[in-house]
């Protein structure tokens, strides 16, 4: 149940660390006793079924909710995040599944939202639109997305492109930790590939990545460490070399529960093994 990602890692190397963290909404315990370490240049995958607590975990790390038990440490210091803004200032950028971009706003406005570049002072402070468009264009091209018209609303882009805009924005604004909430959930196979390539690229740049997904195949492609949540607690925490894809899938699917169900239904084991859900 304890995480021990790399033997040579000192305890202080974690960018973000959860220690026995939990969240209760009134009497409902959405998350309990969760440990998670996010290290630079590593992809930590958080997996789980619907309602497993993945979203709650993300909200704690991104500053949308405060944890009610345990500790959240950033650079080794315990913190309680008061707002998404504070998380961002500490270098944690979150790409939310459905909150990533604003469909009606132009690409460049989305890219710089709440981080707009300005010139002039005081009441004459105004947006530096040419510079914002240029920078947004450079960053998007660096991710392999060339848009000729940055004035087009983000809603007119494909799902993969939208995710890419959100990731490019996070990377550009000096994120040290990139939290991705189900980045491939709404995407086709090809677009998922683009997003997973971005995840790998972010890791190469030395970012700590938290990839939240319910797709063990995607997780296993890029993950260095896997945490499987179940009913708000950690079901499995293992490094890449300690777990195989079928094992991961099995844990995702409910592990022991599934065995019981299989027994009850009298289904031969091999038929259900390593299938999703």
Residues in contact with another protein by CB under 8 A are 62, 64, 83-85, 88, 94, 96, 98-105, 109, 112-116, 118, 125-127, 129, 144-149, 151-152, 156, 158-161, 188, 190-191, 193-194
Q: Rounded to the nearest whole angstrom, what is the least distance from the CB of residue 127 to another protein in the complex?
A: 5
Return the number of other C-beta atoms located less than 10 Å from residue 152's C-beta: 13
Please say which residue, 82 or 260, places its beta carbon nearer to another protein.
Answer: 82
Element (H, E) at 264: helix 256-265
Q: Kindly state the smallest distance separating residue 104's Cβ from another protein, in Å.
A: 5
Distance separating alpha carbons of residues 72 and 62, to the nearest angstrom: 11
Rounded-to-integer distance, Cα 214 and Cα 211, Å: 10
Cβ count near 132 (within 10 Å): 20
Q: Minimum distance from CB of 95 to another protein (Å)?
A: 9
Q: Which is nearer to another protein, 191 or 237 (CB)?
A: 191
CB of 141 to another protein, least distance (A): 9
What is the distance between the alpha carbons of residues 170 and 195, in angstroms, rounded to a whole number? 13
**Token pair of 80 as six digits:** 């309680």
> Least distance in Å: CB of 271 to another protein?
33
For residues 34 and 88, which CB has a smaller minimum distance to another protein in the complex? Answer: 88
154, 103 Cβ separation under 8 angstroms:
yes
Residue tagged 């998404």 (tokens): 84
The Cα–Cα gap between 235 and 163 comes to 29
């Amino acid at each position: 149940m304890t995480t021990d990602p790399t033997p040579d890692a000192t305890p202080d190397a974690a960018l973000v660390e959860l220690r026995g963290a939990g969240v209760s909404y009134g009497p409902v315990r959405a998350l309990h006793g969760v440990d998670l370490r996010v290290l630079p240049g590593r992809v930590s995958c958080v997996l789980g079924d619907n309602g497993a607590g993945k979203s709650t975990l993300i909200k704690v790390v991104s500053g949308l909710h405060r944890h009610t038990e345990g500790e959240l440490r950033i650079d080794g210091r315990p913190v309680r995040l008061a707002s998404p803004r504070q998380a961002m200032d500490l270098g944690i950028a979150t790409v939310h599944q459905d909150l990533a971009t604003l469909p009606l706003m132009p690409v460049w406005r989305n890219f710089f939202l709440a981080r707009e570049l300005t010139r002039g002072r005081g009441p004459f402070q105004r947006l530096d639109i040419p510079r914002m468009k240029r920078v947004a264009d450079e960053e998007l091209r660096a991710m392999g997305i060339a848009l000729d018209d940055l004035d087009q609303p983000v809603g007119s882009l494909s799902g993969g492109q939208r995710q890419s805009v959100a990731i490019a924005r996070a990377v550009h604004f000096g994120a040290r930790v990139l939290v991705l909430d189900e980045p491939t959930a709404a995407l086709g196979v090809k677009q998922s590939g683009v997003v997973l390539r971005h995840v790998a690229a972010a890791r190469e740049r030395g970012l700590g990545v938290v990839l939240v997904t319910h797709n063990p195949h995607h997780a296993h492609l890029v993950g260095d460490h896997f945490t499987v949540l179940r009913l708000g607690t950690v079901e499995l925490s293992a490094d890449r070399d300690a777990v195989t894809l079928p094992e991961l899938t099995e844990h995702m699917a409910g592990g022991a529960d599934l065995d019981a169900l299989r027994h009850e239904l009298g289904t031969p084991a091999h038929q259900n093994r390593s299938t999703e859900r």
